[in-house]
Amino acid sequence: MSIQNRISITLSPRMRKALELTAGLEGSTTATYATQLLSQAIKNEIKEDPIIFQKWIELEKEALRNESWDEVVLPLTISPEDLQDTQPSPKGWFLSGDSPNNYVVGKDRKVPYRGIASGYIKSKQDKTTGFGTIMQQTDIIDYIGKKLEFSAVIKTNKVKDWAGLWVRLDDSDMKLLWFDNMQDRPIKGTNDWKKFQIIFDVPNKSSNLNFGVLLVGPGSVWVNSVSLNEIIGNKKKSTSDLDLSLSF
């Protein structure tokens, strides 16, 4: 028996009838609707608890690196002490990459763009290997078949290798569907504020959108005016319905 069906059967008869009623009105099977309710309830619970939320970010980063949730190992215990060494990040953003310990991310009021504080990712040392990224994730199912634009203004200082925006679309099993990291049009050296963008179509089976700004090797990158819009003809429409916080 599937997990979804077990969710329905283990409810009290009264709650099961309520579930059947709301599922019918919504146009779903009771199993599907129960899974949706449970998923949303868990997401809300995670967001409300800062300790669980930080731990969840770590698990998401591990799943992204492994391109699978199957190998993710849950911590045996969670306590405030576990978070003492957690790298603080601007709300909604987190540090990831193949060498995240070589980089630091945060909010910088001393390097604003049009009076607004910037986010940043910087290498910790002059000799740095691997890459780091300041990134976000969100469900993207509602935008399947639509065209989106991810854009931001970028300022760099002494980027030795390269930096760039990036977008990755995965299915529900973390399988890669589409990817662009600007490696064929890299940002290098020291540059003043400039707008960059990635335009992409959301393919069938898309479940997760991952995006951010990456830095490979030594240097500093500041990012501001981040936007994610749907492109409809010659117009742009905000994706404000997505669970994102794009400011810093």
pLDDT, tens digit (0-9, with 9 covering 90-100), for 86-103: 445 567 899 999 899 899
Query: What residue ranges define each of the domains in the chain, with the CATH number in brackets?
Result: 3-66 (no CATH), 88-238 (2.60.120.260)
The pLDDT of residue 19 is 75
Q: How confident is the model at residue 147 (pLDDT cuts 50, 70, 90)?
A: very high
More confident: 76 or 132: 132
Question: Which two tokens mark 163?
Answer: 């930096």
pTM, to two decimals: 0.68
Question: Which two tokens mark 141?
Answer: 């199912």
Low-confidence winner among 36-45, 73-82, 87-96, 116-125 (lowest mean pLDDT): 73-82
Strands (E) across the chain are located at: 94-97, 103-113, 116-123, 131-139, 147-170, 176-180, 187-201, 208-216, 220-232, 235-238
Whether 2 shows a pLDDT value over 60: the answer reads no
Whether 5 shows a pLDDT value over 70: the answer reads no
pLDDT tens-digit map of 166-224: 999 999 888 999 999 999 999 999 999 999 999 999 999 999 999 999 999 999 999 99
The pLDDT of residue 16 is 73
CA-based nearest residue to 134, from 171, 100, 181, 178: 100
Sign of CA dihedral 110, 114, 118, 122: negative
More confident: 51 or 20: 20
The pLDDT of residue 1 is 40
